[in-house]
Amino acid sequence: MRLISVLFIVFLMAAFAIGVSVEDSEMADVNVALTNASIIATNFTLNNVSDNAYIECGFRVVEKFVHLAVIAMVEVMRMGVLFGHDNPSYFEPEFIMKIATAIVWLTILSLMFVPLMYFTAFLIMIVIWVKDLIKKRREVE
C-alpha cells in the first residue's frame, strides 16, 4: 500500500471524526465552510503570468490540476463529515481498531507481494534446472 493511500485513509477517518463530533446545529456551519473552501479553490488563477505561450499553457494545466485536487479534497472531506454524522456507531474504538489492523495487514501483504513473486520465479528456475539435469543424465545413459 502506498503512502498516499495511507494518508487518504487517515484523512477520511479524520473527516469521520469531525462528522461524529458535529451536532445538528453546527452541520450548516461545516457545510458553509467546505463550500467556501471550494469557491476559493475555483477562484485561483495563473493567467497572464508570462508572455510565452508555452509557459502560459503549462500554467493553465497546473491551474486546472490545482482546481481538481482541491475540489476533490473538499468533496472527500464533505463525504467523510456527512458519513460520520449519519453513522456515529462506526466510530467506536473497536471498529477503529479493526480498521487499523486491516490497514496494517494490507500494508504487510503488499510489501510481501514482490519478494514472494521473486521467490516463486526462483523456484520455477530451480525446477527447470533440475528437470534439465535429469534429462541430460537419461541421455548420457
**How many other C-beta atoms lie within 10 A of the C-beta of residue 38?**
18
Choose among 24, 25, 31, 34: nearest CA to 85.
Answer: 24
Predicted structure pTM score:
0.57
Can you tell me the distance from the alpha carbon of 17 to that of 22, in angstroms, rounded to the nearest whole number?
Answer: 9
Provide the CA 42 distance to its chain's centre, in angstroms. Answer: 23
66-70-76 Cα angle (round to 5)? 145
Instruction: Give pLDDT, residue 1.
Output: 53
* End-to-end Cα distance, the chain: 53
Question: 65 vs 6, which has greater pLDDT?
Answer: 65
Phi, then psi, of 52 in degrees rounded to 5? -80, 130
pLDDT > 90: what percent of the chain?
12
Span 4-56, pLDDT tens digits: 777 777 777 777 777 777 776 777 888 888 888 888 877 877 777 777 878 88
Phi, then psi, of 21 in degrees rounded to 5? -80, -15
> Scanning the structure block, which residue is given the C-alpha cell 485561483?
44
Cell of 31: 457545510
